[in-house]
């Protein structure tokens, strides 16, 4: 090797590489999966070739967490951000779509946040026949019974449903009982809708659960 560092062979370059670069893609996928989907798509996959290869593996996207972390929310809102030219809601929806596409039909668990729309939900379901767990966190849009029925009738393997800040109606529950025979868990955080005018409705929902979901293990 000359003074300018030229002439190094491949073996010498490999010997000088950090040992962690030699980890299998499966290990990298496990480590990177600790990040959310949006962090992976915007940051992690751009770090190096090894990480990008891991982030393109469909197995990396069997579980997709599309909730926005505090740090990533700051990036999206920052006036100095390269993403400021995007409508933030549209941008987040597109990120979620891209993550679902990368799963190549292997998605089993997805967690959506307040930006989710009926159209996004339909997109996820159409491309995720193996979906077992569906979570709506901070859903501020009204979840119409018709939309919910159209979704769950295409998810025969569904086992878990998490819904926050949106009421599940009697019709929703009946649809779950009819189309999702494997359903084991329903978690609802509907505190905005409890009490007062909604008291009778909660009773109707409780009776609907007892009647239509006999295999339920956790409520």
What is the per-residue pLDDT across 123-157, written as a single tens digit (0 to 9) for each?
A: 999 999 999 999 876 554 455 667 788 888 999 99
What is the per-residue pLDDT across 2-19, written as a single tens digit (0 to 9) for each?
A: 555 555 554 544 456 667
d(CA 101, CA 105): 8
Could you give the count of Cα atoms lying within 13 Å of 156 in the half-sphere of its Cβ? 1
pTM of the full structure? 0.74
What is the per-residue pLDDT across 161-182, written as a single tens digit (0 to 9) for each?
A: 988 776 677 888 899 999 999 9
d(CA 198, CA 21): 57
Residue 212: Cβ-neighbour burial (10 angstroms; 0-12, 13-18, 19+): middle
Is 50 exceeded by the pLDDT of residue 196? no
């Amino acid at each position: 090797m000359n003074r300018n560092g030229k002439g190094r062979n491949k073996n010498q370059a490999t010997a000088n590489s950090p040992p962690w670069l030699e980890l299998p893609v499966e290990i990298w996928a496990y480590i990177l999966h600790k990040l959310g989907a949006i962090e992976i798509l915007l940051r992690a996959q751009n770090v190096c070739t090894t990480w990008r290869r891991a982030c393109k593996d469909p197995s990396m996207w069997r579980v997709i967490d599309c909730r926005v972390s505090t740090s990533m929310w700051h990036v999206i809102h920052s006036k100095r951000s390269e993403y400021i030219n995007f409508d933030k809601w549209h941008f987040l929806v597109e990120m979620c779509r891209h993550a679902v596409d990368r799963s190549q039909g292997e998605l089993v668990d997805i967690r959506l946040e307040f930006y989710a729309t009926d159209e996004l939900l339909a997109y996820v379901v159409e491309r995720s026949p193996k979906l077992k767990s569906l979570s709506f966190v901070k859903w501020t849009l009204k979840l119409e019974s018709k939309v919910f029925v159209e979704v769950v009738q295409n998810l025969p393997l569904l086992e878990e449903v998490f819904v926050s800040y949106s009421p599940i109606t009697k019709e929703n529950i009946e649809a779950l009982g009819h189309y999702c025979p494997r359903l084991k868990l329903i978690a609802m955080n509907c505190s905005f809708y409890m009490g007062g005018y909604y008291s009778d409705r909660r009773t109707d929902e409780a009776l609907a659960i007892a009647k239509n979901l006999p295999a339920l293990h956790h409520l």
